[in-house]
Structure 1
């Protein structure tokens, strides 16, 4: 199978999932779309040079996360104005209020901690897999997970445990 055909098939299969991952990371549909387009472009350009293409999902997820973190590092000087309400919330009718509350709280967590939480709990990656995706140590993943969960607990209050379990299960 040619790379173009393989890429098209892969895009059709996982574009929506990658868009949602990007949305969880950045909290904005437009930014998420740009992030996913950049990631797919990078994957497309790298594809012909790849000797093994078995792990395309993991590789693409890694590209999305790394591109998100790189953009956040570039934007540091720009200093965004934080508000209590993100500019956009998911519009799907089936979303529960609990999910919206957790996603809103997640958008306030620092970028690296947010990326760690999304990989660990939304994508259900282990500590080692998350460390590989983020190019950091296992200890860094553990501390970012701990700090990110602590930040969510502070924002969500006593209902944190039940809300987080519902959302991280993908329910």
Structure 2
């Protein structure tokens, strides 16, 4: 088996390749830009601190995603959620789309869903993860991802219809 690269190099590569997407994920989950950035920084710090314990280093991104989601849950539990103050800023062409009125309605409706449904939908449709990747990130089975996503889509549709 080939030796793994030093943790700093691998973590730096992960950060460069995924930090912005993870901040977007956290921003959608928390509604608070500072909390989103903090969640991502803390997740990467945790990865670095626990690098030696990571059994499968190919799953480091899954570890970081899970850590970001856990920190987002903590933020919401502590009441630091402020959707109206911090919708996603324009960081790129994709983020500009989020400023569209329809997208704002979807993001607002997402925040009315139960946490697990919101997480499953955001991971699937905003990050475009597979069911298997979502299951690893959320720590649930593929079947749970399917049912949670299905229930979340149905609930999201009901909420959006109510608001029309």
TM tier, smaller: 0.7 to 0.9
**SS of structure 2 residue aligned to 1:18:** helix
User: How far does residue 39 in structure 1 lie from its aligned partner after superposition?
Assistant: 0.9
Counterpart of 1:90 (choices 77, 88, 91) is 88
Once residues 106 and 26 of structure 1 are traced to their aligned partners in structure 2, the CA distance between those partners, rounded to angstroms, is 11
2:154 is aligned, of 150, 157, 164, to: 150
Aligned length, in residue pairs:
154
Q: Distance in 2 between matches of 1:152 and 1:21?
A: 18
Q: Is the 8 A contact 1:66 1:134 kept in 2?
A: no
Could you list the runs of 5+ residues in structure 2 that have no partner in the other structure? none
Q: TM-score normalized by structure 2?
A: 0.76
- Is the CA contact 2:113–2:156 (under 8 Å) kept in the aligned structure 1? yes
- Counterpart of 2:116 in structure 1 is 112
Aligned to 1:166: none
What is the CA-CA distance between 1:158 and the residue it aligns to? 8.7
Partner of residue 167, structure 1: none
Q: TM-score scaled by structure 1? A: 0.73
Distance 1:44 1:65 in 2: 17
Unaligned runs of 5+ in 1: 161-171
2:104 to 100, 103, 112: 100
1: CA distance, partners of 2:6 / 2:130: 33
Following TM superposition, where does structure 1 have runs of at least 4 consecutive aligned residues deviating by more than 4 angstroms?
none
